[in-house]
Amino acid sequence: MKTIGIDVGGSGIKAALVDLGKGEFIGDRVRIPTPQPSTPEAVVAVFSELLEELDPDGEAVVGVCFPAPLPGGTVPFIANLDQSWVGVNLAEEFTRALGRPVTVLNDADAAGVAEMHYGVGKDRPGTVLLTTLGTGIGTALFIDGKLVPNTELGHIQIRGVDAETRTSAATRKREDLGWKKWAKRLQQYYSQIEILLSPDLILVGGGVSRNSDKFLPLLNLRAEILPAELRNTAGIVGAAWWASQHVAQ
Ligand code: BGC
């Protein structure tokens, strides 16, 4: 089965063909900057461009990951893309616009399933929480390897402030925080997560996990905490894997 993953982000929309045996890209990833405003019409036009390049014959099964919760495929709220997505049923909209079945999954959930299937979460039982530290904070919760979809633990309140506003990797850059100062905020965030969930394992993804040696050793938690392995391929690989499991053939 030819499978493509598409990862919709605040600054870029990225896609690649995925080898589902290995959990790796086949060929290069293609990236197009996220249109501004990032409305559904503009984003779907980018999908068509990406698919023309990666799949001119229109044979591939497509999985999309998206930066919002998607209960029943519909966006209830969205923090980091255009508000016109609210109320849109993504699975229906994308399937209709692209003329083929498309599955949709929250971006952190996609990174999580990739990590649990091909990465450091493989064969890990118990409660595992993957957090992606990027523009926002995304979370993916697994109980004995099974995804509990659409958790939004990046939006818990810490000191009366939305956690991702205070603690995301984008905030570290915006406020020019050193690793130590940022690690203090991460400590507060993950301590609260431990109070709420008592995870056995916490995985840390997002581009900043490349520098995990700068901040993970500064954290003091009961749970084991490890950097994710798949780095910036995780969303695309997870979206493609999800499509291979869930698309109606
Ligand atoms: C969204 C999540 C998303 C995360 C990472 C948050 O603002 O609410 O759904 O997973 O950002 O993109």
For ligand 1, atom 8: residue with the closest CA: 68
Per-residue model confidence (pLDDT) at position 248: 63
> Which atom of ligand 1 lies at the shortest distance from residue 69's CA?
9
Q: According to the model, what pLDDT value does residue 247 have?
A: 82
Q: Is the dihedral of CA 9, 169, 70, 198 positive or negative?
A: positive
Whether 43 lines ligand 1, by a CB cut-off of 6 Å, is: no
pLDDT at residue 249, rounded to an integer:
54
Q: What pLDDT was estimated at residue 118?
A: 97
pLDDT digits (tens, 9 = 90+) for 102-144: 999 999 999 999 999 999 999 999 999 999 999 999 999 999 9
State whether the beta carbon of 229 lies less than 6 angstroms from ligand 1: no
Measured from the CB, is residue 7 less than 6 Å from ligand 1? no
pLDDT of amino acid 1: 86
Listed as ranges, residues in the chain with pLDDT below 70 are 248-249
